């Protein structure tokens, strides 16, 4: 990351110490934010110039070749704007990578800022969306073992994906043949008795 690492808690000093390329961008965007939303307060967090209402609303990152503008609840605003650049996989923060003022639609940015402030004023903060984990592959040795134990196989199929994953990961992580054999034996016995991984020794 080529962003400013200035150690200061003063917003004015932060702007003064910004890299030459992004300093004028930071000055203008800061002026817009404070003019359009004068009730927001400034602070320095994580080397960012942040703007807060009830909570953090947005922040600026002064970099050598661009200005980063981050919205802390951006995923909830994503469908209302086309300004965000990347970050589809993020659970909350969405950002704009700015290399020139001409490249930023000021009207659209003002609308995005207004939407972010309205969202910040809402009484409830919803939890961030859950990130769906990729399915853990079925270990070949476990698949083979289940074919030879109908009761264990039947109970395995009734488990949730999360509970199945615990068994698959546990088997996959066995490094030594002795460890693998012991875990397979415990797994088949636990599954045949209808127990989840956490209850396997019960």
For the stretch 61-87, pLDDT in tens is 999 999 999 999 999 998 889 999 866
Asked if residue 115 belongs to a domain, the reply is yes
Give the residue from 121, 149, 165 where a domain finishes.
121
- What phi, psi does 49 have (nearest 5°)? -85, 110
Residue 19 tokens read as 């890299």
Integer angstrom CA distances of residue 181 from 111, 145, 150, 168, 187: 61, 11, 19, 14, 10
For the stretch 9-46, pLDDT in tens is 899 999 999 999 999 999 999 999 999 999 999 999 99
For the stretch 122-135, pLDDT in tens is 866 555 555 566 78
On the question of pLDDT at 5 being above 80, the answer is: no
Residue 1: pLDDT band (50, 70, 90) is very low
- What phi, psi does 23 have (nearest 5°)? -60, -50
Total domain count, the chain? 2
Residue 22 tokens read as 């992004």
CATH code: domain of residue 16: 3.90.1150.200
Residue 88: pLDDT band (50, 70, 90) is low
Secondary structure of residue 186 in the 3-state scheme: helix
Strands 41-45, 67-71: pairing is: unpaired
The pTM of this model reads 0.60
Q: Domain span at residue 33? A: 11-121
Asked if residue 128 belongs to a domain, the reply is no
The confidence score (pLDDT) of residue 129 equals 58
The confidence score (pLDDT) of residue 91 equals 72
For the stretch 129-176, pLDDT in tens is 555 667 889 999 999 999 999 999 999 999 988 889 889 998 998 889
């Amino acid at each position: 990351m080529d962003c400013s690492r200035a150690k200061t808690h003063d917003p004015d000093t932060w702007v003064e110490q910004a890299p030459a390329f992004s300093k004028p961008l930071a000055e203008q965007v800061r002026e817009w934010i404070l003019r359009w939303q004068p009730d927001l307060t400034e602070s320095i967090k994580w080397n960012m110039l942040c703007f807060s209402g009830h909570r953090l609303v947005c922040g600026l990152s002064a970099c050598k070749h661009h200005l980063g503008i981050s919205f802390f609840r951006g995923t909830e605003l994503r469908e209302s704007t086309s300004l965000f650049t990347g970050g589809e996989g993020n659970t909350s923060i969405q950002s704009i990578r700015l290399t020139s003022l001409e490249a930023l639609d000021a009207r659209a940015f003002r609308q995005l800022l207004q939407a972010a402030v309205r969202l910040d004023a809402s009484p409830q903060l919803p939890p961030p969306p859950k990130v769906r984990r990729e399915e853990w592959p079925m270990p070949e040795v476990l698949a083979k073992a289940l074919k030879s134990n109908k009761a264990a196989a039947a109970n395995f199929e009734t488990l949730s994906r999360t509970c199945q994953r615990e068994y698959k990961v546990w088997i996959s992580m066995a490094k030594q043949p002795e460890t693998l054999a012991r875990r397979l034996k415990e797994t088949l016995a636990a599954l045949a008795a209808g127990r989840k991984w956490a209850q396997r020794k019960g």
